[in-house]
Structure 1
């Protein structure tokens, strides 16, 4: 696998193409616009999706990434509904982390109606841990890498946030990236009804992002959960005074 460029600032994992865009598309767009390097790694090609094809989904994923300003997109090709948590799957994720050397990693929240999202959360958590172990070997003999912070984003649900990022200024960019997945969110003739192309799904996403935004006094926000306490040196800062 060619994983260049190395030294990514923000690496977001999803079980399927469109997971990251739904839950953290605004965060990626905002950081990319500020000059940070962002990347997406999808574990599967979502080949069991009710609508669309793998080839079409690849094109949609590429388009969505371009809209968000993603520097690198990777698909590991694990089986859809086959995220077993095997040592081989974890090792391949470890290899991605060590090659891209992200400062921050995003993964789905560990509670979700879709089992693949839950499995992805678990796999990434284990891989982030293993990536820092000096004696853990990978096929490419990549050097160990310690991720600064792991955060979890929401896909289908809502929950208590540890961090809410103001994405008001890039919100329409997020929606444009989500809608790049036409086969998933825009029901075409001959396709079947799914939760994603239901008329209420995108309204739910927008309403949820508005709710999180409201909590921080903004129009839109995306929520993150930290599995570990977040370090703060001070509650007040003299910067700007």
Structure 2
């Protein structure tokens, strides 16, 4: 029996969620929220690292962030398409953890897998609530779905102040040495040519909009509900 999560974050590859929202994850786990990450692939097509090292790095990052769960569906890297089989597997993951909130990559990004992941999660969140879809499992109505940025940044609907948790974000990203650090046998990629520094600069710019040191931005397809203005 899987533990119910408050928040479930999907990424195409291990490190996607950390790039986009590790500060927000750390902030919520510190407050006692049950947070999980589901990586869709083992990133087996990555230019650097191996499946085994990526799994070890993901486990290390999970410990840094205090995750309740981290899973991997083993879908093909660079083979993510919106298919009934993939939607079923992701829907089953949502029903297993019963999250109140789901995060997915923003639907525009330079990496096609991130775009495909976004589309798959949107389809699966919708199907998860249908009682006649996969009737052998209990339907789950996700209360909120939000989108985080990975490579490309667009206008955010809201931001989260992660200033007090930015060291944790940096530590989580540092777990992915095979991706962000150059060494013997590595090849040059956008990820090991100052990428982490650019992520930090992005988060500084996002925070500057509200006079914060660091913030992470998110998008919602639904209007944000406000009970009152304080």
TM-score interval (norm. to shorter)? over 0.9
TM-superposed CA distance for 1:234, in Å, is: 1.6
RMSD, aligned CA: 0.9
Q: Shift in Å at residue 134 of structure 1?
A: 1.1
Provide Cα deviations, 1:113-157, integer angstroms capped at 9, x if missing partner.
Answer: 00000000000000000001111116xx22000111000000001
Once residues 191 and 179 of structure 2 are traced to their aligned partners in structure 1, the CA distance between those partners, rounded to angstroms, is: 6
> Counterparts of 2:184 and 2:134 in 1: how far apart (Å)?
49
List per-residue Cα deviations over 1:70-114 (Å, max 9, x = no partner). Answer: 110010000001111110100111001111010110100000000
2:223 to 229, 233, 236: 229
1:52 matched to 2:49: yes
Residues of 2 paired with 1:145 and 1:95: CA distance? 10
Whether 1:146 aligns to 2:141 is yes
Secondary structure of residue in 2 paired with 1:90 = helix
**Could you list the runs of 4 or more consecutive aligned residues of structure 1 that deviate by over 6 angstroms after TM superposition?**
none
Name stretches of at least 5 consecutive residues in structure 1 with no aligned partner.
237-241
CA displacement, residues 155-210 of structure 1 (integer Å, 9 cap, x when unaligned): 001111111000000101001101100000001111100000002x1121001000
Mapping 1:23-42, distance limit 5 Å: 23-42=20-39
Q: 1:235 Cα deviation (Å)? A: 2.1
Asked whether 1:4 is paired with 2:7, we answer: no
Where does the alignment leave 5 or more consecutive residues of structure 2 unmatched? none
With normalisation by structure 1, the TM-score equals 0.94
| Among candidates 130, 149, 168, match of residue 133 of structure 1 | 130
Where 2:196 maps in the other structure, the secondary structure is: helix
- Provide the aligned length of Structure 1 versus Structure 2: 230
Please state how far the C-alpha of 1:227 moved relative to its aligned partner.
1.1
DSSP-derived class of the 2:32 partner = coil
SS of aligned partner of 1:196: helix
Equivalent residue number for residue 186 of structure 1 = 181
> Mapping of 1:78-157 within 5 angstroms?
78-137=75-134, 141-157=136-152
